[in-house]
Homo-oligomer: A and B are copies of this chain.
């Protein structure tokens, strides 16, 4: 396949008149217990290398047990499609930047077979082991896979909070943020809130629900829950339009946009007739020209921190590793948009 049969350390050794072992040691600038290499020899080897196009074979390095400076990126769905990019884009950007800083390459596991709509990390030919460690992204992580990673002691970090024990992650503190949103609603006079969610069982979704429940109790707010797993959006809109709640909270901007359309058909305008807030990132989105009330989430930072943590897991020895803070929650901030407005009169 290659006409020039690939330059190896053996070849360099031949040119420099030394042994392959010497070349290896010069390259890695290493000295073992009883091995010393004088500057003269080092120089000879270096010159031989410069003459050629030698590049160490990463496969061989890896086989010999060294780090490869390759980090895996596993997403449970395709990451680069137009739709996914809205969500994954900032995360991937953060990852790319941090990887560049660390001098690491990124291996995307695009080959993972899809079962039940999500990709499987483990399969007969996974290239997982080629990487020094792996970042996991996506809503639908598989508990069994996470557990297996922990058991095998493979370095990895999940983006997003997880419930499984000993799983390292960097997540966003939705619980606090959700409380903040409710607090704003209350400050504007609202006391009755409907939360429309997807009925997912991810930790983040659970945190939003918990945050809502907690805030409701603390601030004496009455909440109604609607899951799109049970009712579709137009039904939900009907329920809301006929009810007495004054604020609608949705799980993300897409649901907010769709729901606003449905509500409009019931004659409900936002925020005149009904306030609206979103428990997700609202950057770059607006509703009828109005900035949406919701979150501003530092996604790039999130990803960068995840990668940095992963790197620590990889380079630290066991003792140091044990001392690492494996679980980090990052604070987002509330965007005080125009869709959550002062409660007018009692209705």
Contacts and interface: CB of A to CB of B under 8 A. Distances in A.
Contact of A93 (B1, B2, B68, B82): B82
Interface in A111-133: 111, 122, 124-130
Contact of A130 (B59, B108, B129): B59
A55 interface: yes
A81 interface: yes
Name, among A68, A105, A148, the residue most crowded by chain B CB atoms within 10 Å (CB to CB): A105
Contacts of A79: 96
A53 B2 contact: no
Interface string A1-25: 1111000000000000000000000
A288 interface: no
A132 to B, nearest CB: 10
For this chain, the copies found in one complex come to 2
A111 B107 contact: no
A163 interface: no
B82 A89 contact: yes
Contact of A125 (B1, B56, B78, B122): B56
A104 B93 contact: no
A85 B96 CA distance: 12
Interface in A49-106: 53, 55-60, 62-63, 68-70, 78-82, 85, 89-90, 92-93, 95-97, 99-100, 102-106
Given A78-B97, A80-B92, 5 more contacts: A1-B153, A80-B93, A80-B95, A105-B127, A107-B108
